[in-house]
Amino acid sequence: MDIKDMNEWTIISLLLLLAGIIFYIYWGLTYGVWMDIGIYSVVIVLVVSGICGFFLSIMKQKEDVE
């Protein structure tokens, strides 16, 4: 995937994915809690939304090319 192929939805999806990972690491380092159901629920929503959005935007781009 080339940087020129990225649209706004791909960028938003990657930011959501990155936000989830950074939030989990930040929370773990700050509070020393790595296994907490509350943190998992927030991180899973961010990470799964980022992954699904990324793949959907990539599939949309492939359909537009064909």
The two structure tokens encoding residue 5: 């192929």
Tally of domains in the chain: 1
pTM for the model stands at 0.83
**Predicted pLDDT at 65:** 66
Q: What's the mean pLDDT in 44-53?
A: 96
Q: Give the CA dihedral 46, 51, 54, 59, nearest 10 degrees.
A: -140
> CA-CA distance, 1 to 4, in Å (whole number)?
8
The residue segments making up the domain with residue 59 are: 3-65
The two structure tokens encoding residue 39: 């943190």
Give the pLDDT confidence of 16-30 residue by residue, as tens digits.
999 999 999 999 999
> CA-CA distance, 22 to 19, in Å (whole number)?
5
